[in-house]
Amino acid sequence: MTTSAKNRLAVNIAGIEMKNPVMPASGCFGFGREYAQFYDLNKLGAVAVKATTVEERQGNPTPRVAETPGGMLNAIGLQNPGLDDVMAYELPWLEKFDQLPVIVNVAGTVTDDYIKVAERVSEAPNVAGIELNISCPNVKCGGITFGTDPEIAGQLTAEIKKVSKVPVFVKLSPNVTDVVTIAKAVEAAGADGLSMINTLLGMRIDLKTRRPILANGTGGLSGPAIKPVAIRMIYEVSQQVSIPIIGMGGIQSADDVIEFFMAGASAVAVGTANFVDPLICPTIIDELEAKLDHYGVQTIGELTGAGWKR
Amino acid sequence: MNKGVLNVISNSSIAERIFRLEVEGDLVGCMTQPGQFVHVKCGTGIDPLLRRPISICDVDIERRRLTMIYRAEGHGTHVLSQYVPGQPLDILGPLGEGFPVEGRKVGEHALLVGGGIGVPPLYYLGKELKKRGVRVTFVIGFGTASQVFLKRELAELGEVHVVTLDGTAGIKGLVTDVLTEEYGLKTSDWDVLYSCGPLPMLRALQDTYQAAGKEGYISLEQRMGCGIGACLACVCPVQEPGEGKKYRKICSDGPVFAFGEVQLV
């Protein structure tokens, strides 16, 4: 895939050429089948598909979602069909979109799980990158337990780098005191890029039953409500690392994309907004070029870190 | 499956906290299967953020009109209840797999059982069944008389039995109390059962009539994210896992399932 020099929206993140900087976020887009009923997925800059684990996972009991002002709590629990099924059906299905780099979100319980999944999915012909999920707040083992300790996060990153044939992005959790330390640790361990942020741990209680609304008790908060947290964390981290950041957290407009770039992102992922409007990604992509004119810039890439570069 | 902006024709209260909303637009043209639902953006801002699933009560394909009946229960439906004629409403749909009516034969007898806000989709279903020459009988249950709605409209399609918990309208009790030989609705009298309503009601119907070997369909409800099958928020386990299927998505595999297809937990 080559990117035209005239394409003002094109970005390159850790060697992945994207014709525009917008991808749907992992966990909010399945493997793309549902959204392909609404538009040609080739329109997207890339796609980050559902977290994949070695074995099939059934996820958490329902209710799995609860709403909050400007946000949504979810506790899906990494439900996915498992590595074999993803390799046999889901990734080959995505091959029909020949201009669509695929980023596979890799999850696990122990280090070996992550290694198995990362090694195999990175061999698939259309997989351009992997996103190491060390920040899912909705599973008891794995997920966030790897993402809150800089040393463990670094070790896992190094192990994955040994087996992955494609760039490795590490998805960071906002549920830590010092996200910069974790970011630096995974960069030092060889991460090619970062994804930030995953959801914020939250809870709601049903006033009638006096019990948490989510069957899992707690869940991950996403949506516009978390955007300022994401902007702040990307602003802090991008000044301290030299690897690219895929920014995410409440993006629902082209203006939001610009703001994430100014904070320090080099590409963005759109999550919860897909649920509100299944056409949100192509809509944002269509609006981006006019926004560049509006803010007087030539290419979107120029905006990375504009919020702190002097 | 599509997305469109429809104009509100009317939106008014028809019973305690129950509203009847009629909208008009091209999207209505594809709403041909009873039991499907639409995903409605209540308001234009970020609060409420997510869409609300609302059942399709009636469709007039020629006039491009869709009728929804909903209960103003939470924040989203309260916002929806404030819409006035002429206002645009963002709707995604029709979504899901509805009640199967193909293959029903002339002269068959269908029992349509609804509870509370589960009653509306039975109207469109009743119309489609009647069109196919199927005799329809409705059993509809509510809490109290002030919550009863659609009785008159359903009566134009078939026999209607109203049940209320407190006995202020119709028979006192539960819908299942009416489905007894003493009451006169013998199991052997009907060929197929379609139902929508609270989970305990659906469970009671499935337990009783699946065991009796009857054909039946139930429509489920669950908190949803996307409404199209991508987010996996509204899943339910299958009754007997097989062929790799361990769960079903209520939004896209349902909301209607055959007796025994899923576990009612």
CATH entry, B220-264, from 3.90.600.10, 3.40.350.10, 3.10.180.10, 2.10.240.10:
2.10.240.10
Residue in A281, A277, A287, A278 with CA at minimum distance from that of residue A268: A281
What residue spans define the domains of chain B? 2-95, 101-216, 220-264
B152 lies within 8 A of chain A by CB: no
In tens, the pLDDT along A176-195 reads 999 999 999 999 999 999 99
In tens, the pLDDT along B132-142 reads 999 999 999 99
The reported pLDDT for the residue numbered B241 is: 66
Q: What is the mean pLDDT of residues A235-246?
A: 98
CATH 3.40.50.80 fits B101-216, yes or no: yes
**b/e map of B195-207 (b: 16 or more CB within 10 Å)?**
bbbbeebbebbbe
d(CA B11, CA B8) in angstroms, rounded, equals 7
Residue in B170, B120, B110, B161 with CA at minimum distance from that of residue B140: B161
Residue A114 has pLDDT above 60, yes or no: yes
d(CA B134, CA B101) in angstroms, rounded, equals 10
Which domains does chain A show, CATH number per domain? Answer: 11-303 (3.20.20.70)
d(CA A226, CA A262) in angstroms, rounded, equals 17
For residue A145, the Cα-to-chain-centroid distance in whole angstroms is 18
Residue in A278, A63, A46 with CA at minimum distance from that of residue B224: A63
pTM comes to: 0.94
Q: Please give the structure tokens belonging to residue A108.
A: 């696990």
Chain B nearest-CA distance from A184, in A, is 32
Closest Cα in chain A to B222: A63
The reported pLDDT for the residue numbered B240 is: 73
In tens, the pLDDT along B228-237 reads 999 999 999 8
> In DSSP terms, which residues pair with B192 in a beta bridge?
B110, B215
Q: Please give the structure tokens belonging to residue B82.
A: 């404030």
d(CA B151, CA B220) in angstroms, rounded, equals 22
Residues of B in contact with A85 (CB under 8 A): 244
Fold of B2-95: Elongation Factor Tu (Ef-tu); domain 3 (2.40.30)
Closest Cα in chain A to B43: A276
Binding residues of B for [2Fe-2S] cluster are: 226, 231, 234, 251
Residues of B in contact with A72 (CB under 8 A): 49-50, 225
> Who's near A88: CB < 8 A, 6+ residues apart?
none
Low-confidence residues of chain B, pLDDT below 50? none
A66 lies within 8 A of chain B by CB: yes
The reported pLDDT for the residue numbered A215 is: 95
| Residue in B76, B92, B236 closest to A278 by CB | B92
Q: Please give the structure tokens belonging to residue A34.
A: 């549902």
Residue in B86, B87, B98, B16 with CA at minimum distance from that of residue B59: B98
| Residue in A59, A72, A279 closest to B3 by CB | A279
> In DSSP terms, which residues pair with B205 in a beta bridge?
none
CB contact under 8 A, A30 and B224: no
Is residue B188 classed as helix, strand or coil in its secondary structure?
helix
Is residue A23 classed as helix, strand or coil in its secondary structure?
strand
- Rounded to two decimals, the ipTM of the complex is 0.92
Residues of B in contact with A33 (CB under 8 A): 229-230
| Residue in B230, B236, B265 closest to A34 by CB | B230
